[in-house]
Amino acid sequence: MPRILPVLVVLSVLIAPTATAQDIDAVLQAAAEAIGDPEALNSIEYSGTGWVSNVGQSHTPADDWPRFEITEYTRTLDYSAEASSETYTRRQGEFPARGGGTPLLGEQQRLLLTRGGHSWTMRGSQAVPQPGNASVRQVDIWMSPHGFLKAAASAEDATAVTLMLEGRQLTILSFTVMNRYRLNGTINEQHQVERVQTWVANPVFGDMIYDHRYTDYQRFGAWMFPTVLHSHQGDPRIHPGHNSMEIRVTDARPNVQTSLPSVPSNVQMATAPTVVVRSTEMAEGVWRISGGSHHSVAVEFSDFVAIIEAPQHEARSLAVIAEVRRVIPEKPIRYVVNTHHHADHAGGLRTYVAQSATVITHAANQNFYEDVFFHPGTRVMAPDILSTRMPWFASNRIPALELISDSYTLTDGDRTMDIHPVLRSGHAGSMLIVHLPEERILINADLYSPPAPDADTPVANAHMRSLAQNIEQLDLDVARHVGVHGLVGSHLEFLRIVGGE
């Protein structure tokens, strides 16, 4: 078949920039000469200051992640033990208090640890397992400059390609680590590791870009180490900024004697938390479907069900949907109200879209959710139903989004559910609250979480005050508050807390 030949010739020209295995050795050799032998570096500890952001918690989808100042930062990487510790003190500082987690009052100490596939944080002297983050914390070790070169040397699927990018000749070294993460490392003309990028699973964003930029290399002993570390999490096509951390390194100590802790027994035994659902009928046809940290409410109409909030992830949505089927059989879930776009409150929405429910959300979230629901970006790390099954929205009989910029009423002529945009919230600029006027129930997320009866009375804050103002301005008749976090509480108690009496 001689006619195939010309095609092969063209192909070989196209793939010419791909380096051979020998070239990879040469790339690694040059990098080792430039930034110091990675094989002789067993550990590194570095310190500095900078900022860290609250990923997934932007004020509106058009904003970057909210930032906190880091006053003290120390990271220790022990390559042979596959262990790392990251400790820092964060405070609100000069950064605007807009978005989830703000304002951060006072100073907060964070200590994040990982070793051999286990990750945990410390709360005082208590180790808190982080099974969900374990592999991301682990891959982070291999995303450090020297860690990347070590991992590249032992990778079996490494490829290298040299590109001209904005007039610079850069080599992208690519391989898989931990049988899961594809790492792309950018080696610059000085043979320094300038950037390491991968993807991590995220229920809202799918395969989410995670990358570290390494610049301003300086000498520390026999090794060169970057003194500006800048990280991104998120897709620049969906998030304008997606800046997640920046550290200005003031000191780096290669081959320091590390004393990273061994894995605590409770961390060793920890498994991913099971999804729990409990339902309580708060009024006729109004069910609180509670979980561990995030809850939903199901409201029964004459021929459909509306759910308020689809938090966390698909497993939670599937459990909530199953529970709703049990307590309200034979009625389709036609609507799901999304209080706001924060990742922990939106992580379960795609499951409802896959079951042809309409998402009621603030109009300012339109582009964001069109991307989240219909973006053709990959979801290889953790595929969900919407990405792997023939989705029902394709029938286009049912719109996936109902956009609200003013007060909106969902009714079947009998029951009424009012949905109101929240004005002047520092937590999220495109937020909704849900009011059941007949039942005098108000459902909110992140503004006020009714406390347990035996808990300390919470101190009034700006979010509670903004909720109180919105209730007053909208003239809502409220007897009970239901938090997407927290419990159910009386309006009298809320007024007492906000009044500060």
- Min. distance of Cβ 342 from Zn ion in angstroms? 4
- Record the tokens describing residue 327, joined without a space: 């307590």
Q: Does 309 bind Zn ion (CB under 5 A)?
A: no
- Min. distance of Cβ 100 from Zn ion in angstroms? 4
Q: How far is Cα 231 from Cα 228, in angstroms, rounded to an integer?
A: 10
- Min. distance of Cβ 201 from Zn ion in angstroms? 20
Q: How far is Cα 500 from Cα 165, in angstroms, rounded to an integer?
A: 59
Using the minimum distance from each CB to Zn ion, give the nearer residue, 354 or 428.
Answer: 428
Q: Which of residues 12-51 bind Zn ion (CB under 5 A)?
A: none
Q: For strands 83-91 and 67-78, give the pairing.
A: antiparallel
Using the minimum distance from each CB to Zn ion, give the nearer residue, 341 or 379.
Answer: 341
Q: Which of 275, 276, 280 is nearest to 298 (CA)?
A: 280
Stretch that binds Zn ion, among 107-115, 145-153, 320-328, 336-344 (CB under 5 A): 336-344
Q: How far is Cα 383 from Cα 263, in angstroms, rounded to an integer?
A: 30
Helix (H, G, I), strand (E, B) or coil at 13: helix
- Min. distance of Cβ 370 from Zn ion in angstroms? 21
Using the minimum distance from each CB to Zn ion, give the nearer residue, 141 or 343.
Answer: 343
Rg (CA), the chain: 26
CB 146, CB 169: distance < 8 Å: no
Helix (H, G, I), strand (E, B) or coil at 367: helix
Please, what's the b/e burial string for 282-313 (b: 16 or more CB within 10 A of its CB; e: otherwise)? beebbbbbbbeebbbbbbbbeebbbbbbbbbb
Using the minimum distance from each CB to Zn ion, give the nearer residue, 115 or 295.
Answer: 295
- Min. distance of Cβ 484 from Zn ion in angstroms? 6
Q: How far is Cα 325 from Cα 343, in angstroms, rounded to an integer?
A: 25
Q: How far is Cα 107 from Cα 95, in angstroms, rounded to an integer?
A: 14
Using the minimum distance from each CB to Zn ion, give the nearer residue, 90 or 342.
Answer: 342
Q: For strands 305-308 and 296-300, give the pairing.
A: antiparallel
CB 65, CB 59: distance < 8 Å: no
- Min. distance of Cβ 259 from Zn ion in angstroms? 36
Stretch that binds Zn ion, among 10-18, 92-100, 350-358, 403-411 (CB under 5 A): 92-100
- Min. distance of Cβ 307 from Zn ion in angstroms? 16
Using the minimum distance from each CB to Zn ion, give the nearer residue, 99 or 145.
Answer: 99
- Min. distance of Cβ 108 from Zn ion in angstroms? 17
Helix (H, G, I), strand (E, B) or coil at 262: coil
Using the minimum distance from each CB to Zn ion, give the nearer residue, 342 or 491.
Answer: 342
Q: Figure out which of the listed residues 36, 100, 129, 285 binds Zn ion, where binding follows CB under 5 A.
A: 100
Using the minimum distance from each CB to Zn ion, give the nearer residue, 323 or 446.
Answer: 446
Residue nearest to Zn ion (CB): 342
Stretch that binds Zn ion, among 2-10, 59-67, 278-286, 445-453 (CB under 5 A): 445-453
Stretch that binds Zn ion, among 112-120, 225-233, 329-337, 440-448 (CB under 5 A): 440-448
- Record the tokens describing residue 397, joined without a space: 């009989």
Q: Does 446 bind Zn ion (CB under 5 A)?
A: yes
Q: Figure out which of the listed residues 316, 342, 420, 435 binds Zn ion, where binding follows CB under 5 A.
A: 342
| Strand ranges in 238-294 using DSSP code E only, listed in sequence order | 243-254, 278-283, 286-290
- Min. distance of Cβ 339 from Zn ion in angstroms? 8
Using the minimum distance from each CB to Zn ion, give the nearer residue, 132 or 399.
Answer: 132
Q: How far is Cα 185 from Cα 291, in angstroms, rounded to an integer?
A: 40
Using the minimum distance from each CB to Zn ion, give the nearer residue, 45 or 446.
Answer: 446
Helix (H) or strand (E) holding 394: none
| Rounded alpha-carbon distances, angstroms, from residue 313 to 154, 295, 317, 347, 349 | 35, 12, 7, 4, 8
- Min. distance of Cβ 483 from Zn ion in angstroms? 9
Using the minimum distance from each CB to Zn ion, give the nearer residue, 38 or 489.
Answer: 489
Stretch that binds Zn ion, among 81-89, 117-125, 157-165, 444-452 (CB under 5 A): 444-452
- Record the tokens describing residue 197, joined without a space: 């990028």
| Total residues in contact with Zn ion, by rule CB under 5 A | 3
- Min. distance of Cβ 305 from Zn ion in angstroms? 23
Helix (H) or strand (E) holding 268: helix 265-268
Q: Does 483 bind Zn ion (CB under 5 A)?
A: no
Binding site for Zn ion (CB under 5 A): 100, 342, 446
